Amino acid sequence: MSAPAVRLRGVSTRFGERVIHHQLDLDVQQGEVLALVGASGCGKTTLLRHMIGLTQPAAGVVEVLGVRVSPEQFLAQRGLRQRCGVLFQSGALFSALSVLENVALPLLERGGLGRADAAHIARCKLAQVGLAAEDGDKLPAQLSGGMIKRAALARALALDPELLFLDEPTAGLDPLGAQAFVALIAELRALHGLTAVMVTHELERVAPLLDRVAVLADRRVVAIGPLAAVRRADHPFIQAYFAAHDPQGENHGK
């Protein structure tokens, strides 16, 4: 097995007195799609921010694609960041740029592409996430909630990254949009090597994509594995979580 795409060891996070993560370990394998689930406010976004290298844990090691990320080495690790795509929970689109410019920005900043080519690829990405051509000229403030999610996804995918960090990619999408998202990620996996970590509250919607699920509770990863195995894990939070997910007891496991 090749080295993991993301490797967390002994990660601890504190905000003031509050401990969010304590001695947390997690590996994301090359080429897999991993879902990160857990209660609201349990620190999923915070963990994702460590992986992106926006913040550093109080203790522990965060390695991404074999490199120990640190915010201090920002310029030296620029190349690493260009191999990653990030979808923020609230979109984080640049409000002063049009949707098309938002998607084209990373392409232009990476260099090696002309303006026309970057715009061409950006239009293609917008179409792939289900936005109409005329939406490209809109400003983020003129988008609906679901459109913001789609535009942010298009920007995260702009560089065809090896490693994708998605914070609730299907929240706010209609069921058809969520289905199209699943199909798009599957297609990208067939095209080129892709590893994805997605925080989600809608496991059943993205279930066809998932290789593994990691459950965050008690400040650490309490269970990790294929969805079917995780559902059977003997942990009070997991039992309650999945009981709430499908009260009828249907089985969505892979």
Partner 1 sequence: MNPTFAASPTLRLSADGEVQLAGSWTFAGLRDHAGLRAAVRAQSPQARWDVSHAELDAVGALWLWQDWQGQLPAALRATEAQRTLWRDLVAAQAPAPTPIRRDALAPLRAVGRGALALLTQAQLVCMLWGRLLLASLHLLRHPSALPARELSANIYHAGVSALGITALVGLLIGVVLSYLSSQQLARYGANVLIVDLLGISILRELGPLLAAILVAGRSGSAMTAQLGTMKLNQELDALAAMGLSATLRLAWPKTVALLLVLPLLAVWTSALALVGGMLAAHWELGLSFGQFLDRFPRVVKLVHLWIGLGKSAAFGLLIGLIGCHFGLTAPPSSEGLGRATTRAVVAAITLVIVADALFAVLFSITLRPRP
Ligand X SMILES: Nc1ncnc2c1ncn2[C@@H]1O[C@H](COP(=O)(O)OP(=O)(O)OP(=O)(O)O)[C@@H](O)[C@H]1O
Q: Which residues bind ligand X (CB under 6 A)?
A: 15, 20, 38, 40-46, 89
3-class DSSP assignment, residue 211: coil
The listed partner (ligand X, partner 1, Mg ion, none) that binds 46, CB under 5 to 8 Å by sort, is: ligand X
The reply to whether 45 sits near Mg ion by the rule CB under 5 A is: yes
Binding to partner 1 by CB under 8 A, coded x per residue (else -) over 66-105, reads -----------------x----------xxx---------
By beta carbon distance, the residue nearest Mg ion is 45
Contacted entry of partner 1, Mg ion, ligand X, none for residue 126, CB cut-off 5 to 8 Å set by kind:
partner 1
- Considering beta carbons, is residue 58 or 188 the nearer one to partner 1? 188
Q: Where are the alpha helices (DSSP H) in 53-98?
A: 78-82
CB of 45 to Mg ion, least distance (A): 3
**Alpha-carbon span 101 to 136, nearest angstrom:** 8
Of 3, 19, 54, 133, the one binding partner 1 by CB under 8 A: 133
Among 153, 51, 155, which residue's Cα sits nearest to residue 109? 155
Reported in sequence order, the residue ranges of 128-231 that DSSP labels E, i.e. its strands, are: 163-167, 195-199, 212-217, 220-225
Q: Helix or strand or coil: residue 42?
A: coil
Minimum distance, C-beta of residue 3 to Mg ion, in the bound complex (Å): 28
Residue 40 binding partner per list ligand X, partner 1, Mg ion, none, with a CB distance cut-off of 5 to 8 Å that depends on partner kind: ligand X
- What number of chain residues touch Mg ion (CB under 5 A)? 2
Residue found by looking up tokens 């090896």 in the block? 162
> How far from chain centre, in Å, is Cα 202?
13
Q: What residues between 77 and 106 interact with Mg ion by CB under 5 A? A: 89
Which amino acid is present at 193?
G
Of residues 190 through 219, those in contact with partner 1 by CB under 8 A are 190-193
How far is residue 112 from each of residues 83, 103, 131, measured CA to CA in Å?
Answer: 15, 16, 26
Helix or strand holding residue 10 (H, E): strand 6-15
Positions of E strands within 69-133 = 84-87
Which residues bind to partner 1, rule: CB under 8 A?
31, 83, 94-96, 107, 110, 112-113, 116-117, 119-121, 123-128, 133, 139-141, 159-160, 187-188, 190-193
